[in-house]
């Protein structure tokens, strides 16, 4: 377990801003901000990616998914180079109001991750930014600015990040939202495109020590393998039928929770949380299986079950 490691650096105004926000936040304010924090979290990301991929626009779902996962893995690699400690590590008046990795020691850097850039801010920006750039709808453009902004503010207010972490996260998310579709349009071979992206993240396996990288790497590998399987063998059709949309989404979320539970069963809780290389690799493998089934195997039902078509 890696406790309290890293580098502390900050501007005095950042600390003052976090302390002021926390001193003036009510319980309702904390709850509202926690809601916006969810827009950068794993389950919500999979839900929104699935909404497009499983239902409305498969191609956009792939673009959105890869933009988000690139931001997640690249951001984690940057974190493991910068090693910036979270604000509540070093300032007694700053409290962590929303845990990053629930159930783990809040001062365990391996579980909770480092601070710069903010993954939640990057994820939200990549997610909504890539949708807005593809669809060119005014309401999506508004969301592409509003949701990442509120997500970033929430990460500062709950004590998980300095404001400069959020600025870096927004910049990384915007880069992914612009770069991934641009590369996708120029590289016509999907396996080649995926391979080039993977090459950029494989080095992280050798120096990253935090769980967030191994989560992102596993999700990316599984997402790529699953979408390749779908492209070659499954080829399901999108749907806008309300009942089919609801059932596909409910089914996808159910599959996620079921797999997340089942794939943990062979291992003890102590092993899964000990932060060793073996535990982190198991984490990657677990998330790779989840993403592969969610985006490659689960869509097979759409062609075979009437209620999902």
Q: How many other C-beta atoms can be found within 10 angstroms of the C-beta atom of residue 200?
A: 12
Judged against a pLDDT cut of 50, whether residue 84 lies above it is answered with yes
Q: Chain-wide mean pLDDT for the chain?
A: 88
Instruction: Name the pLDDT band for 104 (thresholds 50, 70, 90).
Output: low
The mean pLDDT of 261-268, rounded to a whole number, is 92
Judged against a pLDDT cut of 60, whether residue 4 lies above it is answered with no
Instruction: Name the pLDDT band for 293 (thresholds 50, 70, 90).
Output: very high
**What pTM was estimated for this model as a whole?**
0.88
Q: Does residue 171 contact residue 187 with C-beta atoms inside 8 Å?
A: no
Q: Does residue 186 contact residue 196 with C-beta atoms inside 8 Å?
A: no
Q: What pLDDT score was predicted for residue 46?
A: 79
> Poorest-confidence range of 108-122, 137-151, 169-183?
108-122
Q: What pLDDT score was predicted for residue 285?
A: 95
End-to-end CA distance of the chain: 47
Mention every residue, 6+ apart, whose C-beta is less than 8 A from residue 180: 63, 66, 67, 70, 130, 197
């Amino acid at each position: 377990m890696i406790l309290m490691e890293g580098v502390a650096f900050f501007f005095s105004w950042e600390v003052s801003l976090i302390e002021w926000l926390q001193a003036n936040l009510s319980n309702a304010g904390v709850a509202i901000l926690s809601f916006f924090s969810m827009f950068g979290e794993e389950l919500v990301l999979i839900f929104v990616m699935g909404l497009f991929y499983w239902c409305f626009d498969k191609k956009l779902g792939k673009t959105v998914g890869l933009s988000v996962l690139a931001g997640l893995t690249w951001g984690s690699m940057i974190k493991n180079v910068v090693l910036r400690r979270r604000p509540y590590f070093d300032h007694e008046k700053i409290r962590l109001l929303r845990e990053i990795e629930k159930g783990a020691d809040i001062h365990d850097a391996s579980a909770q991750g480092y601070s710069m850039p903010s993954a939640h801010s990057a994820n939200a920006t990549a997610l909504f930014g890539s949708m807005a750039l593809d669809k060119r709808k005014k309401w999506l453009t508004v969301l592409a600015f509003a949701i990442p902004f509120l997500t970033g503010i929430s990460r500062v207010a709950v004590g998980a990040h300095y404001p400069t972490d959020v600025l870096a996260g927004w910049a990384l998310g915007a880069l992914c939202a612009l770069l991934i579709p641009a590369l996708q349009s120029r590289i016509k071979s999907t396996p080649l495109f995926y391979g080039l992206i993977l090459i950029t993240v494989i080095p992280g396996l050798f120096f990253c020590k935090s769980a967030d990288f191994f989560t992102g790497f596993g999700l990316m590998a599984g997402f790529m393998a699953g979408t390749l399987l779908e492209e070659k063998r499954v080829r399901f059709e999108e749907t806008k039928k309300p009942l089919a949309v609801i059932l596909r989404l409910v089914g996808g979320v159910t599959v996620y929770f079921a797999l997340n539970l089942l794939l943990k069963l062979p291992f003890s809780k102590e092993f899964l949380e000990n932060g060793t290389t073996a535990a982190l690799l198991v984490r990657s493998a677990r998330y790779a299986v989840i993403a592969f089934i969610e985006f490659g195997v689960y869509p097979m039902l759409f062609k075979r079950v009437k209620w999902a078509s």
